[in-house]
Amino acid sequence: MTTDINHLDWSELDNRAVDTVRALAMDAVEKVGSGHPGTAMSLAPAAYLLFNKVMKHDPADPAWPGRDRFVLSCGHSSLTLYIQLYLSGYGLSLDDLKALRTWGSKTPGHPEHGFTEGVETTTGPLGQGFANAVGMAMAARRERGLFDPEAPVGASPFDHTIWVVCSDGDVQEGINHEAAAIAGHQRLGNLVAIWDDNRISIEDDTQIAMSEDVIARYEAYGWDVHRVDWLKTGEYVEDVERLHAVLQAAKAETGRPTLIALRTVIGWPAPKKKNTGKIHGSALGADEVAATKKILGMDPEATFAVDAQVLEHARKVKERGEALRAEWDEGYAAWREANPERAAEYDRMAARELPEGWAAKLPSFPAGKDVATRAASGEVLNAVGPVLPELWGGSADLAESNNTTIKGEQSFIPTEFQTETWKGGPYGRTLHFGVREHAMGAILNGIALHGGTRPYGATFLVFSDYMRPAVRLAALMELPVTFVWTHDSIGLGEDGPTHQPVEHLWALRAIPGLDVVRPADANETAVAWRTILENTGRPAGLALTRQKLPVLDREKYASAEGVAKGGYVLADAAGGTPEVILIATGSEVEIALAARESLEAGGTPTRVVSMPCVEWFAEQEQSYQDQVLPPAVRARVSVEAGIALGWRQFVGDAGESVSLEHYGASADYQTLYKEFGITPDHVAAAARSSLTKAKG
């Protein structure tokens, strides 16, 4: 079996394998009664060509770090991937294909990362996978820069290609525009996208909604663009030789990402439903399936029929994978021998282990000064950056506002695009996403999926709306991505209600698996970062202030170490037994502390609980939660400059919430807090009201 991927050895058995893919796609959707057969049918030659002849992968080891990555951005066509995983020998069985979209199967409706071997990312929401692929390509370049920057192009064990298949729907989504622009600007020569240009979507002919020149758009982004038109002769001819040649040209292009516009006919060769919206997202029906199988020269009555000879032939890709792996192993071993320190660092990062003693680098902030938590976050990044090379990231054009730049580090950018302000090169550390929040979120996910490094990305909290789909997918995939969201309340002041988040904290807390952390001062921020970095299987969002906050006197109040538990007793009642509990987050903690002074002076024993992360608090033993929030103390007040939506679970039926149930306004932040009633006096009044209800 040759490892020369520039040579195409294509036989009649390969043609039969492609037709088998089509038949399996029809049968799987027909059996379950729902799904998307059309794209899997028309992409069958391209997908088979990639997996069987072109991609560097080893079905015996889906996690091989030297592998190419394959991303199916059009996740609705999950069978495009599942059938190749079956044919290639990744562990999916024919029974798994029969169980498509059913309870407990390995073949859910859309591919899910961590659930099915060989699935690199969870896809389905269109455009997300494409942006993930951009992130993977960026991560691969960063990894090469960390561990093998001197190697000639193509000669490093860290050189590999990211392949992404996308649909008409993908190229229409806004996130695709953002991500494609970044990829072109970054000159990601290790990224190849195959656009299935079949011009059919659920609403049938895409002409009803789409008329732009996609090829010209990608050329304008700086991509290398190729057209492979299987209709150019007027007849439909699947010219696999031509596609193979273009794929090889794409691999050879190392200075630009490549788009291959592959003109196909969706559902080929179904006689009545090909090239229609009907075959995009529903079963063909028994008669159409039978008629299509006749055209393919297959038994129309047989279902899930796979000729043993065809399967044996397709599975020879395992031999090819073994040979490629052996070749890579040799180069990798040589690299390790020549670079023992780099190899040790690579092993640590690959295992997502933090270096011994790293936390000692975290800054400690003295009481008596005022520090915005965004500024404290920036100091944390600069303190730990030198010992955590895996930590890298940037901002959606707000670096100076978000405080996300590690001083002295170069920007991650082709050298020709560095500026007077931002010096850099292709292996830099500081990311610049431009004003592209949605792509930023999905690119961060792709970086994390690639493995090894730990990405972060920043914008204003209110603009988390732009990136919410990517944040949700980070949580769904349990990725260690950190979203830094500054300007977290009306405290940003004069910019006004368009920029002042009101509903965002609880909207984000509603995402299962996302840790939303809103620290109260600089030292809470440091512990928050430490806890986030120690959690390797979940994303987190840091909500940070623009305005300065007092650094709390930890000799007077409890240690900020309590942040790691999500909520802790910051200041206890005189005598230790509270009559009322004030629960606050972020910039409102100092307001709760001032209200406590007033209540205590009036004879009401008052406890203040800082609750920077409700998700972490909920994970604690019930005994700890009851210790912090004793069930017997029913008088409680939550204090947060946003909607009160979820605080009822903590304050109970006798509780009160000092919150903001409307939009903000443009003024300095002191005026806004006063005018909107988020003050110590209002908190104290709410506490007295809650006490009355608790006694009633």
Q: Has 437 been annotated as catalytic?
A: yes
> What's phi and psi for 560, nearest 5 deg?
-70, -5
With vertex at residue 372, the alpha carbon angle to CA 366 and CA 377, rounded to the nearest 5 degrees, is: 85
The pLDDT value recorded for residue 686 is 98
431 three-class SS: strand
User: Are 570 and 593 contacting, i.e. CB atoms less than 8 angstroms apart?
Assistant: yes
What is the C-alpha to C-alpha distance for residues 334 and 329, in angstroms, rounded to an integer? 8
The pLDDT value recorded for residue 156 is 98
The CB density around residue 668, as the number of other CB atoms within 10 Å, is 12
Q: Residue 31 contacts by C-beta under 8 Å, 6 or more apart in sequence? A: 98, 100, 303
Q: Residue 420 contacts by C-beta under 8 Å, 6 or more apart in sequence? A: none
- Residue that has been written with the tokens 């009545």 in this structure: 272
The pLDDT value recorded for residue 4 is 53
At 513, which amino acid appears? G
First to last CA, the chain: 83
The pLDDT value recorded for residue 64 is 97
The pLDDT value recorded for residue 7 is 80
Weakly modelled stretches of the chain, pLDDT under 50: 1-3
- Which residues are registered as beta bridge partners of 261? 195, 227
103 three-class SS: coil
User: Are 427 and 141 contacting, i.e. CB atoms less than 8 angstroms apart?
Assistant: yes
Q: Residue 81 contacts by C-beta under 8 Å, 6 or more apart in sequence? A: 47, 70, 72, 111, 118, 119
Q: Which position among 30, 288, 379, 437 bears the catalytic label?
A: 437
